């Protein structure tokens, strides 16, 4: 019996020696808990923010004395603290760079002595393979200490992330919960991906941002700002159908993706409708629109764009009118939208009397339609019909009445134009929010006439206000409602610019 006890003791001692510790156990001190206080913007009351919200997540030490985590953990955070493993300390941190579309962020610490005894986590050299085992580290809901769960890689694909940006994604079957976000997934002691998403009400399905995407992000921010990934935004479809191939005149063995709508219509844009992109660089595209990137992995051909694009272009081969034509295709980092995403910014706004004008954004439309869908009578609103349109000219913005009208006597008899898009002020078509402010600032009329874009067979009624009463009511309204400024910071110098034009008297010169 004594021999058994002694034998177990020796085995336990040897098992705990550094040389025999599993590689992943050395990762523990590189994983941190992140505490953040979010102050997200309120798109319905753009002069203020939503109530503060406590958010917890995870992060990992990378080179350059930085912490890598998810954008959604720290975006719009007014306070960020990093808590080391097995420590009660909370080290103040700030966002050094963020990519909301790829859900990645890098933190810098106020006290860099934290890094003195910690090396950066090494990155894997390649994508994992399906059925590879991974260990996920983090601080999920349900406890305060570091959690380590094991799973396998079940799928790798190129798919959409956020804000119409695509990238590589790894699906794993490890048990993930809220709080795991930003935690590392490790294999053989190396980072293979960062946890960023899970499917609620589904058992053990989670997603990782692979190292390849992380390295693209880190390379991008090396100059101090995030520009975005190069992408093609043309509308494409596969060429599997026999009748379609016959129309295109595609010879046997020639495959690719067909352009159904070029991203731009200008004559000098290289791609045209019915073109078939057959190769990206020198890699052939199959009839399902995929390329072989490894003997065991096929991905969307668009994956190659982010790998091979240089100086705003990617080389390709296009089949057109029976010929294979080499082309340089222009790429860009984000889709141009007349209603953009806020990403990491706050909504822009201008308050004039009882009305709150704001630039229409995707965030605004998502929030308002989720809360209260537009009625059938407003289905022709530009908020619907132009939802994913490109700007028709440089600088075009849609201006929406973002909030219900403030109560005031000058609104007597008018319906509330909330969620209506402003089209004209005193006969001038409004091109942007700044242009609206300039019109209101410089117009010499004693009255202000507002017209709105048609949302159905009937448009919203025309509203007429006396200019002096609008200005007077603005001061009173912002005071009564505790609003600090009547406009966002970018518009204050525009409105406050000295104007010498005197208003014209009504009905005469």
Give catalytic residue positions.
Answer: 72, 181
Strand partners, 166: 160
**Which residues, at least 6 apart from 279, have a Cβ–Cβ distance to it below 8 Å?**
256, 285, 316, 317
**Which residues, at least 6 apart from 418, have a Cβ–Cβ distance to it below 8 Å?**
401, 402, 403, 404, 405
Give the dihedral sign, CA 464/466/469/474.
Answer: positive
Let me know if 279 is exposed, middle or buried by CB neighbors in 10 A (0-12, 13-18, 19+).
buried
Q: How far apart are CA 269 and CA 203, in angstroms?
A: 47
**Nearest Cα to Cα of residue 248 among 277, 282, 270:** 277
Let me know if 109 is exposed, middle or buried by CB neighbors in 10 A (0-12, 13-18, 19+).
buried
- The helix or strand, by DSSP H or E, that contains position 39, with its residue range, turns out to be none
For residues 463 and 422, the answer to whether their CB atoms sit within 8 Å is: no
**Nearest Cα to Cα of residue 24 among 190, 179, 220:** 190
Cα distances from 43 to residues 77, 346, 361, 402, 407, in angstroms, run: 17, 8, 9, 7, 20
**Which residues, at least 6 apart from 339, have a Cβ–Cβ distance to it below 8 Å?**
360, 361, 362, 364, 365, 383, 386, 387, 389, 398
Indicate the SS3 state at residue 220. Answer: helix
**Nearest Cα to Cα of residue 56 among 70, 35, 79, 71:** 35
For residues 93 and 109, the answer to whether their CB atoms sit within 8 Å is: yes
Q: How far apart are CA 66 and CA 79, in angstroms?
A: 17
């Amino acid at each position: 019996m004594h021999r058994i006890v002694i034998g177990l003791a020796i085995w336990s001692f040897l098992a705990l020696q550094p040389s025999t510790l599993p590689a992943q156990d050395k990762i523990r001190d590189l994983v941190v808990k992140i505490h953040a206080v979010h102050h997200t913007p309120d798109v319905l009351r753009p002069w203020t923010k939503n109530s503060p919200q406590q958010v917890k997540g995870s992060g990992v030490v990378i080179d350059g004395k930085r912490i890598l985590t998810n954008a959604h953990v720290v975006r719009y955070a007014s306070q960020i603290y990093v808590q080391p493993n097995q420590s009660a300390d909370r080290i103040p941190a700030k966002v050094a760079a963020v990519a909301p579309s790829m859900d990645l962020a890098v933190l810098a610490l106020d006290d860099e002595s934290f890094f003195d005894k910690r090396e950066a986590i090494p990155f894997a050299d390649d994508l994992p393979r399906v059925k590879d085992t991974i260990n996920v580290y983090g601080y999920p809901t349900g406890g305060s200490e570091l959690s380590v769960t094991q799973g396998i890689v079940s799928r790798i694909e190129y798919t959409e992330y956020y804000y119409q940006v695509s990238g590589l994604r790894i699906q794993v079957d490890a048990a993930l919960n809220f709080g795991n976000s930003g935690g590392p997934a490790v294999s053989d002691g190396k980072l293979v991906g960062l946890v960023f998403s899970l499917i609620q009400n589904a058992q053990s399905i989670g997603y990782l941002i692979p190292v390849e995407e992380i390295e693209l992000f880190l390379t991008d921010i090396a100059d101090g700002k995030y520009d975005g990934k190069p992408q093609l935004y043309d509308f494409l479809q596969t060429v599997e159908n026999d009748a379609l191939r016959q129309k295109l005149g595609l010879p046997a063995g020639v495959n690719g993706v067909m352009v159904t709508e070029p991203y731009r219509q200008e004559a000098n844009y290289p791609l045209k409708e019915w073109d078939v992109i057959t190769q990206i660089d020198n890699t052939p595209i199959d009839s399902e629109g995929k390329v072989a990137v490894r003997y065991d992995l096929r991905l969307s051909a668009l994956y190659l764009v982010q790998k091979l694009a240089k100086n705003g272009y990617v080389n390709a081969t296009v089949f057109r009118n029976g010929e294979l034509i080499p082309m340089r295709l222009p790429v860009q980092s984000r889709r141009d939208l007349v209603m953009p995403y806020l990403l990491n910014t706050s909504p822009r706004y201008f308050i004039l009397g009882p009305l709150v004008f704001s630039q229409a954004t995707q965030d605004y439309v998502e929030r308002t339609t989720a809360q209260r869908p537009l009625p059938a009578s407003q289905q022709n609103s530009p908020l619907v019909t132009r939802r994913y349109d490109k700007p028709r000219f440089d600088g075009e913005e849609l201006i929406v009445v973002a909030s219900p009208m403030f109560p005031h006597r000058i609104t007597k008899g008018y319906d509330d134009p909330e969620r209506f898009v402003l089209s004209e002020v005193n006969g001038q078509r409004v091109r942007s929010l700044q242009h609206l402010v300039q019109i209101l600032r410089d117009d010499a009329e004693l009255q202000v006439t507002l017209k709105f874009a048609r949302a159905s067979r009937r448009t919203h009624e025309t509203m007429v206000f006396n200019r002096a009463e609008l200005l007077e009511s603005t001061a009173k309204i912002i005071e009564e409602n505790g609003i600090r400024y009547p406009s966002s910071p970018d518009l204050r110098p525009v409105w406050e610019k000295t104007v010498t034009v005197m208003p014209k008297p009504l009905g005469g010169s």
